[in-house]
Amino acid sequence: MRVLFLCPDYFGIYKVIEKGIQKQFNCDLTSIIFEDYQYKNSWEKILNFLSKTFFKKNLKKIWASNERIKDIKPEDRFDYVFMICPDFLINEDLKYITDKTPNPIVYFWDSFNNIPRYERTLPFFKRKYSFERKDAIKYDLNFLTNFYHIDGYSQSTEIDLFFIGTYDSRFLVIKEILDTVKRKNKNSKIILQCNNPKVINENKDTEITFIQKSIPIEETAKIFSNSKIILDVQKTIQQGLTFRVFEAMGFRKKLITTNADIINYDFYNPNNIFVWTEDSKDIPDAFFETDYEELPEIIFKKYSLESWLNTIFSAKNSLK
């Protein structure tokens, strides 16, 4: 079986999926990892500026898309093409890639509200999945959550609350929850990726650590293992569950989340999951003091990477 896998480098998740595909299917795997395009010279930068100014055409996006698939030869054929975030390619390149397989598959791990350009990519795929239930209904997609990739448990923890993510509009909520935890004499480790010197300087005396480059997934796994509770703060424009939810599940950690839709999932347990709302002022002491309650095995396995990949590549799924 030959598989072509295309995916952006989002906190190293692509490495986990690559290893999972190779281990599970023992296939001939080719990967394309979407990276930011760098101008090759000053002339390219000037040319793109002129093109956007006078013709409303962004040449950089075209060059970037072409660059990403340049190693795929015209004669190449694959049993499956599996793509995450297809908006990284222009339509012409999407057609070129998906025409190389009878089974073009796509997974959307952002909401269409967050990335409206997803919609233009839909005609290029037969099997389509989304982590966002509303998008699945609206665009006739298969609903499929994200997954956990590490099945581990550590009773020895030094960190009470852990969050890692990017600096954005969620920052005030993160600080509010951080202050609540601090009042309970609990410690926190908050890591935010941010390149804004002003933001970093304004928050230099807080417990927040700012980074400019993402931390390797192997390092974050160690911090997850050493934490009692994982914090998940959703983007307000989406309801789909983030990877944080499933990382907490895989490590058997408690979870504080702002995603109220989580109560509608079969793994929801108020002993393990606290939902922080706009009206929340405190977190019960018992949530910090009681132990994590194990999920039924059938539910736990349902959200594993192995189960996720079986669903993605299963011929039993209806082609859409």
- CATH for 129: 3.40.50
Residues 240 and 287 in one domain: yes
Q: How many CB atoms lie within 10 A of CB 191?
A: 17
From CA 152, how far away is CA 132, in angstroms rounded? Answer: 27
At residue 184, the pLDDT reads 94
From CA 122, how far away is CA 141, in angstroms rounded? Answer: 10
Is 152 domain-assigned? no
Is 153 domain-assigned? no
Residues 7 and 90 in one domain: yes
From CA 239, how far away is CA 263, in angstroms rounded? Answer: 12
Give the CATH number of the domain where residue 283 resides: 3.40.50.2000
Tokens of 69: 């698939």
Q: How many CB atoms lie within 10 A of CB 185?
A: 8
Is 47 domain-assigned? yes
Closest CA to 292 of 320, 251, 263, 264: 251
HSE (side-chain half, CA atoms, 13 Å) at 89: 27
Tokens of 33: 């990892």
At residue 173, the pLDDT reads 93
Is 127 domain-assigned? yes
At residue 252, the pLDDT reads 94
Is 318 domain-assigned? no
Is 320 domain-assigned? no
How many domains are contained in the chain?
Answer: 2
Residues 211 and 240 in one domain: yes
Residues 9 and 139 in one domain: yes
Is 211 domain-assigned? yes
At residue 202, the pLDDT reads 86
Residues 15 and 140 in one domain: yes
159-166 and 227-232 beta bridge pairing = parallel
From CA 116, how far away is CA 120, in angstroms rounded? Answer: 8
Tens place of pLDDT per residue across the chain (320 aa) = 999 999 998 878 999 999 999 999 999 999 999 988 889 999 999 998 999 999 898 999 999 899 999 999 999 999 999 999 999 999 999 999 999 999 999 999 999 999 999 999 999 999 999 999 999 999 999 999 999 998 776 667 899 999 998 888 899 999 999 999 999 999 999 999 988 889 888 887 777 899 988 888 888 889 999 999 999 999 888 899 999 999 999 999 999 999 999 999 999 999 999 999 999 989 999 999 999 999 999 999 999 999 999 999 985 543 33
CA–CA distances in Å: residue 3 to residues 130, 208, 269:
20, 41, 38
Is 293 domain-assigned? yes
Residues 180 and 126 in one domain: no
Residues 165 and 189 in one domain: yes
Check the CA dihedral 200-204-206-209 and report its sign: positive
Residues 243 and 268 in one domain: yes
What letter would DSSP give residue 72? S
| Containing structural domain, residue 239 | 159-297
Residues 165 and 141 in one domain: no
At residue 318, the pLDDT reads 35
From CA 272, how far away is CA 291, in angstroms rounded? Answer: 8
Residues 173 and 206 in one domain: yes
Show the DSSP H helices in the chain as ranges.
13-25, 42-55, 59-68, 91-98, 133-138, 171-183, 197-202, 217-225, 243-251, 285-289, 297-302, 305-313
Residues 292 and 196 in one domain: yes
Residues 140 and 179 in one domain: no
At residue 12, the pLDDT reads 83
